[in-house]
């Protein structure tokens, strides 16, 4: 008989042994105390799981956008609008990518830990804090890259003393709201493949219903109120004082058809010679003003408020959805 078998025989008699069971009466770590555990995990993942790569990625995208459409930002209405829309899309893209896989990739692990006493709210709050850090860094990088590439930002702030801080807050809030939206999607779906399938639809929805890229009417127009892109676009255009900028669309259109009529060509030449071009462009801008983009504090606060609301709602929904994780099948 082997030693192991001997051990087996001896243990067969262990039923008479005194039980070592002691009920643990003390409490375990509550919701608040569990947050640092998961926050620590998230930051370790930032280093070890290459989450840090989203930072250089955001710099690259910001540089591309700034180079392509940044030249006329804060100069013309058209430039301001294009760049605001592009920046909004960049922020949404960044936000979506940050956390679209963060929950679903470790869903079975969450289920196991939930069984062992993890509080879902602690887990989600840790994610919210970590993603806040990530989005803040991305917003900082985006603003810095835009500045470095050559976008001429105004110096004086409208909400705070510094314009760059105002813009940073808006970019941060757009990114963060998108981030938490995708955190919610990641909490709902069960696999990373599904998450990555859903994401393009969400991006298209944000773009189509931003209220800027396409003219919408009827019920479709009302859908814009449900998009992060609308509030992001409005906030960026308002902060850039869109309504005070000149518009070049009319002038450019007339300029293109000048050859069709000698009188028109002559008139344009005379306007240029008389130095009235700037006045025409300014007047053209006045005609193109949008009340939605009015540079008022209430307008900007309203946009920021909506973006915060998106983040809060989706954070709560994420917690609610994940509370049912025990129902996941094997």
> Under the rule (CB under 8 A), what is the footprint of another protein?
2, 4-5, 7-8, 11-12, 14-15, 17-30, 33-34, 37, 40-41, 44-45, 48-49, 106, 108-109, 111-113, 115-118, 218-219, 326, 330
Question: What is the C-alpha separation between 315 and 181, in angstroms, rounded?
Answer: 8
Report the nearest approach of another protein to the CB of residue 183 (Å). 17
Q: Which is nearer to another protein, 93 or 130 (CB)?
A: 130
Cβ nearer to another protein, comparing 209 with 293: 209
Question: Which tokens belong to 75?
Answer: 């100069």
Nearer to another protein, 74 or 209 (CB): 209
Closest approach, Cβ 39 to another protein, in A, equals 11
The torsion region of residue 211 among left (phi > 0), alpha (psi -120 to 50) and beta comes to: left
CA distance 164 to 50: 29
Closest separation between CB of residue 323 and another protein, Å?
15
DSSP code of residue 159: S
Three-state SS at 85 = helix
Q: How far is the CB of 248 from another protein (least distance, A)?
A: 36
* Least separation in angstroms between CB 34 and another protein: 7
Q: Cβ closer to another protein: 20 or 275?
A: 20
> For every residue of 221-261, which 3-state class applies, written as one string?
HHHHHHCHHHHHHHHHHHHCCHHHCECCHHHHHHHHCHHHC
Please give the backbone phi and psi of residue 145, each rounded to the nearest 5 degrees, phi first: -65, -45
Number of Cβ atoms within 10 Å of the Cβ of 158: 17
Identity of the residue, 117 or 275, whose beta carbon is nearer to another protein in the bound complex = 117
Residues 58, 62, 64, 69, Cα dihedral to 10°:
160
Q: Which is nearer to another protein, 113 or 166 (CB)?
A: 113
Tokens of 290: 């949008």
C-beta of 314: minimal distance to another protein in Å? 24
Closest to another protein by CB, 25 or 253: 25
Minimum distance, C-beta of residue 142 to another protein, in the bound complex (Å): 27
Q: With respect to another protein, which residue has the nearer C-beta, 14 or 273?
A: 14
Write the DSSP string, 166-212: HHHHHHHHHHHHHHHHHHHHHHH-SSHHHHHHHHHHHHHHHHHTTSS
Angle of helix 192-208 versus helix 228-239 axis, rounded to 10: 50
Least Å distance between CB 84 and another protein? 31
Sign (positive/negative) of CA torsion 216, 255, 244, 301? positive
């Amino acid at each position: 008989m082997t030693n192991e078998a001997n051990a087996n025989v001896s243990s067969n008699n262990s039923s008479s042994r005194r039980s070592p069971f002691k009920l643990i009466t003390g409490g375990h770590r509550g919701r608040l105390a569990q947050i640092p555990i998961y926050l620590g995990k998230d930051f370790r993942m930032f280093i070890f799981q290459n989450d840090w790569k989203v930072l250089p990625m955001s710099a690259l995208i910001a540089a591309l956008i700034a180079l392509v459409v940044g030249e006329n930002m804060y100069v013309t209405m058209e430039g301001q609008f294009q760049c605001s829309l592009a920046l909004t899309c960049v922020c949404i893209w960044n936000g979506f990518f940050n956390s679209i896989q963060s929950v679903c990739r470790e869903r079975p692990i969450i289920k196991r830990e939930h069984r062992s006493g993890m509080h879902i709210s602690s887990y989600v709050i840790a994610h919210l804090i970590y993603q806040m850090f990530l989005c803040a860094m991305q917003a900082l990088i985006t603003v810095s890259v835009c500045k470095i590439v050559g976008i001429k930002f105004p110096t004086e702030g409208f909400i705070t003393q510094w314009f760059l801080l105002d813009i940073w807050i808006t970019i941060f809030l757009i990114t963060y709201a998108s981030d938490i939206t995708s955190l919610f999607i990641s909490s709902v779906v069960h696999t990373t493949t599904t998450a990555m399938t859903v994401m393009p639809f969400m991006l298209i929805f944000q773009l189509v219903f931003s209220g800027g890229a396409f003219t919408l009417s009827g019920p479709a127009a009302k859908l814009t109120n449900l998009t992060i892109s609308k509030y992001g676009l409005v906030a960026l255009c308002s902060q850039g004082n869109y309504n005070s900028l000149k518009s070049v669309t009319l002038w450019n259109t007339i300029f293109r058809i000048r050859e069709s009529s000698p009188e028109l060509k002559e008139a344009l030449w005379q306007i240029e010679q008389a130095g009235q071009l700037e006045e025409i462009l300014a007047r053209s801008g006045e005609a193109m003003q949008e009340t939605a983009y009015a540079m008022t504090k209430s307008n900007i606060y309203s946009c920021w408020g909506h973006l915060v609301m998106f983040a809060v709602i989706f954070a709560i929904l994420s917690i609610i959805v994940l509370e049912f994780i025990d129902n996941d099948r094997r």
